[in-house]
Chains A and B, each alone.
Chain A
C-alpha cells in the first residue's frame, strides 16, 4: 500500500503534468517518447517502415503514428505500449486528429485522396484532393479539414463531417506542412521559401511570409510564429499579425517537425540531420535544450503535449 501511495504521489506531484514529445525517427525506424521536463528519452519503440507522421492526443494520452513506407498506423500510449496497429494502405502519410469526435484524417499521397477514419483505422469517408497531398490540418472548431496538395500548389478544404469540398486556395510552390492557428491555415511553401496564410472560413489568401531555405514545419508560441528551414538550418521567427519575418535561430541541419509546448512559451523541433530534439525558448528565441534521439527524427505533425492527469 505504501509503495502504491508513493507512486500516486510521484505521478501527481507536478501541479501541471509535464509535456512529452513523440519523436518519429524515420531512418532508425522507431518512435521515442521524450519527457521534456526531465530532458530524456523515456522509451523507444521500434516501428518498421520509416515512421514520420504523428499526432498526439493529450486527453487520452494516445499517439497515432504512420509508417511512410507501408502506410501502417500504430497507436501508442505515453509509456510506449503499442495498443493497436492497422494497415491504412501504401501512400498514407500526413494525418490530423479530431480527438473530440474520435476521428483521424489521413492524406493518401499516391492516390490523391483524403480519408476520414475511426481511431481504429476504419474508413468513414474518402474524397479526392489535389496531387500529392502531404500535410493535413483541422480547424479549431473541428469543422474544416484541409490538405496541402504539394504538386498542385494549393490547399484543399473539406467539411470535416462528410468530406464535402469547401474551397481551394493557391499557395506558393510545393506546400507541405499545414497547421491551424488563430482562424487561419498556415502552410509552408517548400520551393518558394515562404509561408502562405489562408482564412479558414472561405479560403481567402491573407498573405505570405518570407522564410529561410526549404521551410518544413510551422508552430506558434509567445505570440510569435516559428518556421523550420530545412536547408538553411535555421528557425525563422515571424509576427503572425503583421506577417513579417523577425529574427532567425541557428539549429542543426534539416530542422523539420515543430510544435509548441503546452506552456505556450517553448517550441520543440525534430532536427533530422543531427539526431536531436531541440527545445527553443520562444520568448528569448534561444535554444535551451537538445536531447539525443535515434537517427532521422522528423515528427511531422502535432507531436507534443501534456501527459493526461490521472
Chain B
C-alpha cells in the first residue's frame, strides 16, 4: 500500500504546485487569407466584438452584463457559446484593443475550460488588411499550453495547443472564403 499512497501524494503535490505556474515557452499561431471582397466589406462582417456569428463553431455571442458597449478595451467582455452535442461549452473573452480605423481588434481569453480549448494566457488579434483593394484577414494568437507545469499529458501539451488554435482560425477563415470567395 505504501508505494501507492506515496505516488498519490506526489501527484497531489504536483498539482498544487502547478496551480499558477506555466511552462515557460509561449506558442504563436498566425493564419492569413485573402478574400475576393473589399476590406470594408469583410470588416463589416467580422469587425464586431459582440458578434462572432461569422465563425462556424460559435452558436451565440453574449455580452456580459457589465459590458456597456462592445468597443471599450479592458471592459467589453463576450461569452462565446459554442456549438456542441451536449452541454454549453463557452469561451469568455475581453476586448484589449479596439482599432476600427485599422480594421483590427485584440482580445484575451479570461475564462475557458482546457477541455474546450487547451490553452492558457491566450491573447489574439484579428485584422483586415488592404491588399490591393482585396481584404486580407490576419488572425494571430500568442498563448501557453493548457497544462501549466512540466511533463504535460498529450492532450494538454504544446502541440495540442497549437493544433487547437490553428483549427479555430482555419475554420473561421474557411467560412469567410466560402462566403466571400478566395482571391487566390
Residues of A within 8 A of B (CB): 26-27, 50, 52, 68-69, 90-91, 93, 109-110, 131-132, 151, 213, 231, 233, 253-254, 272-273, 295-296
Contacts and interface: CB of A to CB of B under 8 A. Distances in A.
B28 A27 contact: yes
Contacts of B150: 90-91, 110
Nearest to A256: B26
A109 B148 CA distance: 12
Contacts of B23: 69
Contacts, number: 49
A253 B21 contact: no
Contacts of A213: 74, 96
Contact of A109 (B21, B27, B96, B123): B21
A68 B150 CA distance: 11
A166 to B, nearest CB: 25
Nearest to B74: A213
B20 interface: yes
A295 B142 CA distance: 12
B142 A68 contact: no
Interface residues of B, number: 20
B149 interface: yes
B156 to A, nearest CB: 16
Most chain A CB within a 10 A radius of its CB, from B24, B25, B74: B24
A230 B53 CA distance: 29
Contacts of A272: 26, 28, 142
A296 B26 contact: yes
A254 B27 CA distance: 12
Given A213-B96, A231-B108, A253 B25 contact: no
Given A151-B20, A253-B106, A296-B28, 4 more contacts: A68-B25, A109-B21, A132-B20, A233-B97
8 contacts: A26-B25, A52-B24, A69-B24, A90-B150, A109-B21, A131-B17, A273-B28, A296-B28
Contacts of A91: 150
Given A110-B149, A213-B96, A93 B142 contact: no
Interface of B: 17, 20-21, 23-28, 74, 96-97, 106, 108, 123, 125, 140, 142, 149-150
A268 B30 CA distance: 25
B25 A69 contact: yes
B21 A132 contact: yes
Contacts of B142: 253-254, 272-273
Contacts of B24: 50, 52, 68-69, 93, 109
Contacts of B74: 213
Nearest to A151: B20
B96 A231 contact: yes
A109 B21 CA distance: 9
Given A253-B142, A254-B142, A296-B28, A231 B21 contact: no
Given A91-B150, A231-B123, A151 B25 contact: no
A151 B21 contact: yes
Nearest to A213: B96
Most chain B CB within a 10 A radius of its CB, from A90, A131, A273: A273
A193 to B, nearest CB: 10
Which 3 A-B residue pairings sit nearest by Cβ, starting from the closest?
A68-B24, A50-B25, A151-B20
A67 to B, nearest CB: 10
